[in-house]
């Protein structure tokens, strides 16, 4: 991102006008740079052909329709599509990543055979009742206990006004990423310090009552 920003091509027009070899070089440090560069070009082509190059027009589409269109693009899977919808488009579409699956499996909330859509629907169904505003305080408390903060100022997109459900999905996914990075690590879970420890199967909740 920083390389694209310094080269002044971190925009739809910038990606469009940058030759593929140059784009590959700019994003080399991200890994799989050739594949990612082609996918960026594919996305811009989709945007040009369907929405006149306008992200604003694209995100104005109904969530289900736009999600279907994104999933039809080569190289765009459910996690990428939902990330675009939630973070770029402010659509209420929950993002399921490796952290999400790992935490749910370790808490016996889903098993290893659970598909992406099953987990996404579980979160969306469970979080909808929180749209009344009670989630905000709980999120802040959990974030404080997790000791996870942002390393950079929020972007204009992060500060944009959102529908309550979008804000809930956004914050919950961010909290899950924080827990995954800080405690629920792939190689060695640090459950004894995790704020979600008391929810583990077999945990003695009375030890955490106070």
Q: Is the dihedral of CA 193, 191, 125, 86 positive or negative?
A: positive
Ranges of each domain in the chain: 1-51, 98-201
pLDDT digits (tens, 9 = 90+) for 72-115: 998 899 999 999 999 999 999 999 999 999 999 999 999 999 99
Phi, psi (degrees; rounded to nearest 5) at 184: -85, 65
- Residues 117 and 210 sit within 8 Å (Cβ to Cβ): no
Say yes or no to pLDDT of 146 above 70.
no
d(CA 182, CA 188): 11
Of 210, 185, 208, the closest CA to residue 197 belongs to: 208
């Amino acid at each position: 991102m920083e390389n694209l920003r310094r080269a002044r091509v971190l925009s739809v027009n910038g990606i469009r006008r940058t030759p593929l070899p140059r784009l590959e070089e700019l994003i080399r440090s991200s890994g799989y740079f050739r594949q990612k560069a082609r996918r960026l070009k594919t996305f811009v082509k989709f945007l040009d052909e369907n929405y006149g190059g306008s992200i604003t027009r694209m995100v104005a589409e109904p969530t289900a329709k736009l999600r279907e269109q994104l999933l039809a693009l080569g190289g765009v899977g459910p996690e990428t599509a939902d990330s675009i919808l939630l973070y770029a488009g402010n659509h209420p579409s929950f993002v399921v990543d490796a952290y999400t699956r790992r935490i749910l499996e370790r808490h016996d909330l889903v098993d290893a055979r659970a598909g992406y859509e099953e987990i996404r629907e579980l979160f969306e169904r469970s979080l909808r009742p929180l749209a009344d505003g009670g989630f905000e305080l709980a999120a802040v408390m959990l974030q404080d206990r997790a000791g996870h903060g942002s390393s950079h100022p929020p972007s204009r997109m992060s500060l944009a006004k959102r529908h309550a459900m979008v804000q809930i999905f956004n914050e919950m996914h961010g909290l899950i990423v924080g827990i995954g990075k800080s405690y629920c690590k792939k190689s060695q879970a640090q459950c004894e310090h995790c704020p979600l420890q008391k929810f583990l199967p077999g945990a003695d909740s009375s030890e955490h009552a106070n």
